[in-house]
Amino acid sequence: MPLFHFSFDEDLIPSELIHFNGDINGLKLNEFQDHDIDFISIQPNPSKDIPVFRINSMGEQEVSIIVTNEYGLQVYDRIHFLSPGKNDIQVHFSKISNGIYFYRIQSSEEIYSGKFIVQK
């Protein structure tokens, strides 16, 4: 089994805000404990039109989802209400073009971030 080591400057990024959630050679890494959200994925990725954020929530809560394009311009900013368990949120964009997009999902306690690709 591969060993991964990540280090971050605690002065710049507090460790409680760092969550690695990614695929490496088909292995899904998901190491969350005692968090209000325990899993986030984007399906499909790359996406042709409307990506679906799959979020597993530990309880009822409100989250903010912000998506920016590769130039830092916001293309989506909405508040969503999550139920306990699996939540599928379709993210509708107006006039989205091919490219790399970055998301930030903020709950009351944590911030999760990642990227996805739109390829029409």
Beta bridge partners of 89: 53
Domains of the chain by range and CATH?
15-118 (2.60.40.2550)
CA distance readout (Å), 68 to 14, 21, 22, 84, 99: 23, 19, 19, 27, 11
- The pTM (predicted TM-score) of the whole model is 0.68
Over the stretch 41-91, which tens digit does the pLDDT of each residue have?
898 889 887 889 999 998 899 999 999 999 999 999 999 999 999 999 998
Comparing C-alpha atoms, which of 119, 114, 107, 21 is closest to residue 68?
A: 114
User: How far apart are the C-alpha atoms of 39 and 49, rounded to whole Å?
Assistant: 22
- Residues 15 and 69: their CA atoms lie apart, in Å, by 26
Tell me which residue of 41, 64, 113, 55 sits closest to 84, measured CA to CA.
Answer: 55
Q: Would you say 105 and 64 are in contact if contact means Cβ atoms under 8 Å apart?
A: yes
The tens digit of pLDDT for each residue in 80-109 reads 999 999 999 998 876 788 999 999 999 888
